């Protein structure tokens, strides 16, 4: 008689393990862990890649390398392209430390981004620039006209004065100016970042250093277009429309969020 083969018994299923109750400490720990992982990701990008790769991590509304060869300004964020106007010289020497890419010199020229949008409540403006000893004019601006021309609604302007100071202008029911001391018309490449938005101070950073700061935040709410190399400001009781003149730019980005100090410092470290 053949032996009887017995089927092995399946192990009894283990009772489910209940998740521990989620309290404030657990939520805070998870948030901290996420921030640490995000910071590690940024540091890995810094180690392995460069300037443009890091800017992409901030989900920019616009990322214009300014390496163009015609009147179309390619937007590497995937959003609408821009259009050059005025006087400009393309394919100038790179302003990045590693020599990658090319730049554009504006001589009373500008770029208009063709997409109309609601003015962002928070923003960060980023670029590499070099200015001649007689340079002045705008790096960025927002206005309700699609072309770089005088408009009735304008603010979010970042510009270089005739004395070489970098100034951020917002309309908060009255003109608000944040000025960075010093003269940056020295012919040297610089990393320029300006931010505004709740949760962060309004600030200007040059070469990774915070050179001007204010707790005042806010800007006007209207529909308009971003410009690069042009803006309108209200100075000494007058409306002034200013093109970039004698200013070379590369790697211009517009982020609809207020970046942190550490994120901004990281940008300069790869520029």
> Cβ–Cβ contacts within 10 Å for residue 244, how many?
32
The model's pTM: 0.81
Burial class (CB in 10 A: 0-12, 13-18, 19+), 84: buried
Helix (H, G, I), strand (E, B) or coil at 26: helix
Give pLDDT tens digits along the chain (271 positions).
455 455 545 555 545 555 556 565 656 566 565 666 555 555 544 444 589 999 999 999 999 999 999 999 999 998 888 999 999 999 999 999 999 999 999 999 999 998 999 999 999 999 999 999 999 999 999 998 877 776 777 899 999 999 999 999 999 888 899 999 999 999 999 999 999 998 899 999 999 999 999 999 988 899 999 999 999 877 667 777 889 999 999 999 999 999 999 999 999 999 9
3-state secondary structure of 168: strand
């Amino acid at each position: 008689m053949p032996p009887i083969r017995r089927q092995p018994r399946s192990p009894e299923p283990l009772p489910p393990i209940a998740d521990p109750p989620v309290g404030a400490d657990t939520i805070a720990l998870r948030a901290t862990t996420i921030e640490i992982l995000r910071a590690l990701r940024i540091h890995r990008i810094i180690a392995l890649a460069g300037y443009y790769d890091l800017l992409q991590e901030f989900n920019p509304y616009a990322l214009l390398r300014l390496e163009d060869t015609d009147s179309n300004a390619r937007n590497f964020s995937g959003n609408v392209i821009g259009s050059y106007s005025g006087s400009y010289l393309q394919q100038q020497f790179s302003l990045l430390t590693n020599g990658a890419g090319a730049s554009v010199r504006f001589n009373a020229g500008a770029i208009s981004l063709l997409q109309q949008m609601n003015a962002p409540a928070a923003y960060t403006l980023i670029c590499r620039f070099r200015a001649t000893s007689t340079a002045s004019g705008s790096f960025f601006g927002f206005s309700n006209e699609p072309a770089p021309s005088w408009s009735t609604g304008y603010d979010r302007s970042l510009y270089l004065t005739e004395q070489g100071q970098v100034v951020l202008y917002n309309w908060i029911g009255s003109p608000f100016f944040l000025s960075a001391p010093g003269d940056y018309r020295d012919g040297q490449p610089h990393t320029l970042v300006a931010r505004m938005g709740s949760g962060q101070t309004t600030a200007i950073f040059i070469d990774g250093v915070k050179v001007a700061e204010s707790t005042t935040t806010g800007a006007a709410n209207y529909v308009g277009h971003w410009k690069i190399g042009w803006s309108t400001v209200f100075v000494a009781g007058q409306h002034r429309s200013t093109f970039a003149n004698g200013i070379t730019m590369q790697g211009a980005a517009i982020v609809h969020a207020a970046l942190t100090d550490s994120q901004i410092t990281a940008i300069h470290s790869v520029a």
